[in-house]
Structure 1
Amino acid sequence: MSYCLNPHCQKPQNYRDAKFCLTCGTKLLLKERYRGIKPIGQGGFGRTLLAVDEDKPSKPPCVIKQFLPQAQGTNNSQKAAELFEQEAQRLDELGKHNQIPELLAYLTQEKSQYLVQEYINGQNLAEILLEQGNFNESQIWELLNSLLPVLEYVHSSEVIHRDIKPENIISSRDRKLFLVDFGAAKVVTGTAMLRTGTSIGTPEFVAPEQTRGKAIYSSDLYSLGTTCIYLLTGISPFDLFDFSENTWVWRQYLVDNSVSDKLSNILDKLIDNATSRRYQSGSEVLKEINHSSIYISPDKTQNTIKVKPSNYSSWQCVYNCIAHTDIIDSLAISSDGKLLASASHDCTIKLWKINKGKQICTTKLIQTINNENNFYAVAFSPNDLILASGDSANNIHLWDVSSGKKIRTLTGHTGWFTGVNCLSFTPDGQIIVSAGGDKTVKLWDVNTGKNIRTLKGHNSWVRSVAISSNGQIIASGSNDKTAILWNLSTGQKLKFCNHTSSVFAAINSVAFSPDGQIIATASDDYTIKLWEVTTGQEIYTFKGHGNWVRCVTFSPNGKILASSSYGKDIKLWDMNTNQEICTLTGHLSQVNSLVFSPDGQTLFSGSNDKTIKVWRCE
């Protein structure tokens, strides 16, 4: 079936392969590839059609949004056209976030505007409410944990959505939530937020300041809050507010649907009419959620923490960065703690500015470095002027941090489908050490790009390298189940550290303690081992992860060891007592990289779930 795009066509249904409408002659394919199948939505200024992409062999489904201004006056039509174009711009700027439909095309054909988007197979929350009844508390927790990081991402791009409501949140078949319809979105730059604009959005869900044309970031949080109380009660937010008493009365409409005080208080603060008393950011709400005594399954939500009794303050996830569109393999932090770099399989490195205030760390994306191949590793030089990266094509690129421009490329690792897995600078910044899939460790002159020395001794992939604080010893960990300590100056092998005879004992990560006396190794045998550097003797084995251990790192003062696993969890260990301090959960897939801030109060984690989480010691 092909559906005619002419809204006035009397018989819009056509044969599947027709190129022109048999009734009115309208061209049926957009951009020679997108074919409408049937209408699935209609609004005041347009309609939405289910479509297919004829250009791809599998003919995947997509969505065509067609701009159809009705006879509502010239000003309204002109404004609607502007909003339609804005939606395309917003979707293009926000990129391929995994909870925002991807923009596939924006075009004008036969004097009509069209927007083609990724198709989300599922139901919006209004449909789910109608079909299944009022939401319960666990569903609201799930909604908040899923949507708040998306709003953080949108706001970090200086965009206000302005029309958050149940109809604009879609739950896919696998229960993943998507934020859709950016037609009302507003870009905030400079003093734009201070100017009064047009009141826009769905009245029953918008914040008071937005009705006066002064939407701010917390206006979106207000709309999310009103969405939550509507889903809990099934009653319009208009009827949940007592105007005579100037107060919300939504609790009175909860019928056989009890809600904890913790959730009630969070919702009340989200929908406070006074912007000064409202949450100011999604991360602030997430921090409040993390202080909840309610435990939420990490398989369905994020940012939950199981803490064991200890002398340490609790660690909380205070911020969630969502900008990459594929696996994050490596993180690096500058020596002054002001910049974070993330390397991803989406062929980009993203540089983040780290801001601290009121014990909350946030990040702001300031630069993206693009590549032709997946990035596996990233490292800052000690003076923070150079960023080194390793990729899947065996290249090591050196980048100027301030400009993002490439300084030079180092080549020498070989082999097909191997790559540069890890990088580390010497303390003086003159040498960079690389771990290769070609079973070698290589030393490079940073200033000339020349290979100084190649270390051979492993008989499988080298997964990780580290350099002692005095710059004298290199540690390397390999798939061959061994870690080797090397003399950096001579290349001589000093010590071997073997995990077990188990087939699954690859060493995925190595790290020196700050004083250089201990080396930690993380293995597929579910353990982390500590070794004495001078003798190579095993000191202690940490057990507790239920899966292969992916990464290990020491806090700057050496008192805490952090580790992560393929089982999604992060564990913190007390180096004085060898006891587990706490387990941090919330990532939806394996955690590949961990870095502490220079003051040791913040931990950054990068994962296969495409997110960076910021954990803060409270």
Structure 2
Amino acid sequence: MIYCLNPNCEKPLNPDATFCQSCGTQLISQLRNRYRIIQPLGGGGFGRTFLAEDEDKLNEHCVVKQLAPQVQGTTALLKATELFQEEARRLQQLGEHPQIPTLYAYFRHDNYLYLVQQFILGQTLRQELRQQGTFSEEKIWKLLSELLPILKFIHEHQVIHRDIKPENIIRRSPREDLVLIDFGVAKQLTATSLQQTGTTIGSFGYAPIEQMKYGNAYAASDLFSLGVTCFDLLTGIHPSHLYMEHGYGWVMHWRQHLKSPLSAQLVQVLDKLLQKDMEHRYQSADELLQDLHQKPQPASIPRDFSLPQPPSRINPRQSVFPSTVLQPRIQLKHKLLAGGIILLLGLGGYIYWQSLGHIPTLSGHWGDVNSLAFRREGTTLASGSDDKSVKIWNLNNRQEIRTLKGHKDIVYCVAISPDGQTLVSGSKDNTIKIWNLKTGKEIRTLKGHTDWVNSVAISPDGQNIASGSYDNTIKVWNLNTGQELQTLREHTSAVLSVALSSDGKTLVSGSADRTIKVWNLNTGKVLRTLTTHSGDVNALAISPDGQMLASASDDKTVKVWKLNTGKEIRTLVGHSADVNAVAFSPDGEHIATGSDDKTVKIWNLDTGEIIDTLKGHSGKVYAVAFSPDGKTLVSGSHDKTIKIWQLP
């Protein structure tokens, strides 16, 4: 079947033929000999949208938009054409963000303009509202935390979306992340545009007064529309109906439409978003993100406050991790103090506290946080992300120092040299980049892997790099010259993790072939192969003294081994999903692990007991790292954030 592309055709679906059987227009089987139209997805205004197949990408689905303006007059037609072209420019500019559709092509064919973009499989929030009913407060907090980094990104690129509403937000399947679509009315915010009155554009009820009355749009305008979107999803009431009856007066009384009470914190946030006067609103996504980070977290404390049975051996340093007290059979009383702190009282005085409030969070990445590495002084942290960047953070003030850009795809791994001068990153673009950590300048790019680079490690003397790749190999490089020294090829599937011993003589690798290999780094020979994991080996860590190895796997377990013999010491069971990350504490007495179950766990290595389970991430945890002094643990997640956990 061939779909007729004449916008005025009443029966556009045709059998294979040369001309449309309804309107007589010549049929096009493939636009540009590449894009085959399958079915219409919708239309209106100045464009029609189709689902199509891209023959050059093995018939991958894509979206084709056709400029078919249903407007009269030369001025209106020119404006429609301008907006269509602007949408293509915006997608080209912003499409590198994983939660904004990518532009594939923009061209003219038979006097019509076409735009081809990425197809997002999923459903809009409007469809979700109809199927599942109104959103809970928890879902609104999650919506804000996921959508604000996207708005921050487009605003930093001087683009205002101008049409934020449930129809233009898709929850992608199966990843369940949010994607912002339809940049057909997006506006480039330039010095010139700030001085001009623009065209009135947007959706009634969602767009603020400065946009609808004067044609002006700013970051605060999109944030108003975001607030209206939250109201719509919370109440199920379409704001256009309220707008038609009350104009912008309805935003002063939005709370009267709530079906159930909201927390004071969310009411305060929505009140500030829904201000009629722009100067009283949040002025930036960053400003709102700061308020989101102050949202109280629920505490998980047992009702009777009984403590677990103690392990056979107690180390004093273990006794005050944030949510478990390893003291023998003490029944505790609790007291709520100012600032949301619970103080537990037991024999011998105050032995434990837990903050119920804010978990310090670093936000700035707009993709998954895959890897974390501390500088030796302990206040500088590096993070690698799906957004193709590496960010450097100051943990003292919790501020971003700089962003390193140069990779063309996801950054899976980062490592910092022992002297703190150099950072190494590995990427899905098959390369390793070496950076000057102080200046953020790229020193060189190492090319040699033929597939994704999943893991990098730097030798203790700072001379060599080891890298593991989806090409099933490990490569060893000279850090100073970039020379490839050797390639190790014993794995039969992707190498997911590499680690180097403290003496620099032993290399360990974990693979999707479910094995761990221990190598003599000097000779490149395999010393032993460890085979008891029943799933991919995602992460490895060697203890500071070089005696123990920890491995994390898709089989939901962590295994601890004697490194010099390969003997399995114990298997740690407690996560309910794949374990993605593992790290030793600096004293070598504990390990931390991160999992698809969205938790971080801290374990006692002597006993194999879980000391603490840290909850706060809303997505899978991909990275964990201890600070050099052991007082701080950081974790990176699919939720695009880094959590900072303070340890006693």
Q: TM-score range by the shorter chain?
A: 0.7 to 0.9
* Structure 1 contact 604–612 (Cα < 8 Å) conserved: no
Selected match of 1:369 from 403, 407, 431: 407
* 1:182 counterpart SS class: coil
* Structure 1 contact 510–519 (Cα < 8 Å) conserved: no
Q: Within 2, Cα distance between the matches of 1:183 and 1:330?
A: 36
Selected match of 2:359 from 305, 312, 315: 315
* 1:369 counterpart SS class: coil
1:284-433 mapped onto 2 (5 Å cutoff): 284=290, 286-289=292-295, 291=297, 308=323, 311=353, 315-319=359-363, 321-323=365-367, 330-332=371-373, 340=382, 342=384, 349-354=388-393, 360-361=398-399, 366-370=404-408, 377-382=413-418, 387-388=423-424, 397-400=432-435, 402=440, 404=442, 406-409=444-447, 422-433=455-466
Which 10-residue stretch deviates more, 142-151 or 86-95? 142-151
Which 10-residue stretch deviates more, 101-110 or 457-466? 457-466
Q: Within 2, Cα distance between the matches of 1:461 and 1:164?
A: 41
* Structure 1 residue 339, shift from structure 2 partner: 7.2
Q: Within 2, Cα distance between the matches of 1:440 and 1:25?
A: 56
Unaligned runs of 5+ in 1: 296-306, 412-416
* Structure 2 contact 593–602 (Cα < 8 Å) conserved: yes
Q: 1:406 to 1:447 in 2, by over 3 A?
A: closer
Which digits, 9 at most, give the CA deviation of each residue in 1:476-525, with x for residues without a partner?
25468768597x789999x99x99x8453886534356x64774513447
* Structure 1 residue 596, shift from structure 2 partner: 5.5
- Partner amino acid for 2:593? S
* 2:79 counterpart SS class: helix
Q: Within 2, Cα distance between the matches of 1:5 and 1:455?
A: 55
* Structure 1 contact 329–343 (Cα < 8 Å) conserved: yes
Selected match of 1:226 from 228, 234, 252: 228
1:59-98 mapped onto 2 (5 Å cutoff): 62-71=62-71, 73-95=73-95, 97-98=97-98
Q: 1:319 to 1:407 in 2, by over 3 A?
A: closer
* Structure 2 contact 540–552 (Cα < 8 Å) conserved: no
RMSD: 5.1
**Residue 253 of structure 1 corresponds to which residue in structure 2?**
257
* Structure 1 residue 181, shift from structure 2 partner: 0.8
Asked whether 1:564 is paired with 2:579, we answer no
Q: 1:365 to 1:19 in 2, by over 3 A?
A: farther
**Residue 332 of structure 2 corresponds to which residue in structure 1?**
none
Identity %: 33
* Structure 1 residue 243, shift from structure 2 partner: 8.1
Selected match of 2:480 from 411, 428, 447: 447
1:22-101 mapped onto 2 (5 Å cutoff): 22=21, 23-28=23-28, 29-36=30-37, 39-44=40-45, 46-53=46-53, 55=55, 62-71=62-71, 73-95=73-95, 97-101=97-101
* Structure 1 residue 365, shift from structure 2 partner: 5.2
* Structure 2 contact 227–270 (Cα < 8 Å) conserved: yes
Q: 1:432 to 1:72 in 2, by over 3 A?
A: same
* Structure 1 residue 84, shift from structure 2 partner: 1.3
* 1:322 counterpart SS class: coil
Q: Within 1, Cα distance between the matches of 2:296 and 2:454?
A: 34
Q: Within 1, Cα distance between the matches of 2:524 and 2:248?
A: 80
- Partner amino acid for 1:17? D
Q: Within 2, Cα distance between the matches of 1:130 and 1:492?
A: 61
* 1:228 counterpart SS class: helix
Unaligned runs of 5+ in 2: 302-321, 325-351
* Structure 1 contact 552–594 (Cα < 8 Å) conserved: yes
* Structure 2 contact 359–616 (Cα < 8 Å) conserved: no
**Residue 283 of structure 1 corresponds to which residue in structure 2?**
289
Asked whether 1:476 is paired with 2:480, we answer no
* Structure 1 residue 217, shift from structure 2 partner: 3.0
Q: Within 2, Cα distance between the matches of 1:350 and 1:92?
A: 18
Q: 1:343 to 1:360 in 2, by over 3 A?
A: closer
- Partner amino acid for 1:5? L
**Residue 545 of structure 1 corresponds to which residue in structure 2?**
575
Q: 1:156 to 1:522 in 2, by over 3 A?
A: farther
Q: 1:100 to 1:419 in 2, by over 3 A?
A: closer
* 1:447 counterpart SS class: coil
* 2:114 counterpart SS class: strand
TM-score by length of 1: 0.72
**Residue 180 of structure 1 corresponds to which residue in structure 2?**
181
- Partner amino acid for 1:613? T
Q: Within 2, Cα distance between the matches of 1:68 and 1:461?
A: 48
Asked whether 1:605 is paired with 2:633, we answer no
* Structure 1 residue 182, shift from structure 2 partner: 0.8
Which digits, 9 at most, give the CA deviation of each residue in 1:47-82, with x for residues without a partner?
323343262697565433222345555444333322
Selected match of 2:550 from 501, 521, 524: 521
Q: 1:456 to 1:26 in 2, by over 3 A?
A: closer
Which 10-residue stretch deviates more, 448-457 or 555-564? 448-457
* Structure 2 contact 617–637 (Cα < 8 Å) conserved: no
Q: Within 1, Cα distance between the matches of 2:291 and 2:90?
A: 25
Asked whether 1:202 is paired with 2:235, we answer no
Q: 1:526 to 1:124 in 2, by over 3 A?
A: closer
Q: Within 1, Cα distance between the matches of 2:120 and 2:491?
A: 47
TM-score by length of 2: 0.70
Which digits, 9 at most, give the CA deviation of each residue in 1:325-350, with x for residues without a partner?
xxx76555666866745376xxx953
Which digits, 9 at most, give the CA deviation of each residue in 1:361-395, with x for residues without a partner?
55875513237xx97654344566655456799x8
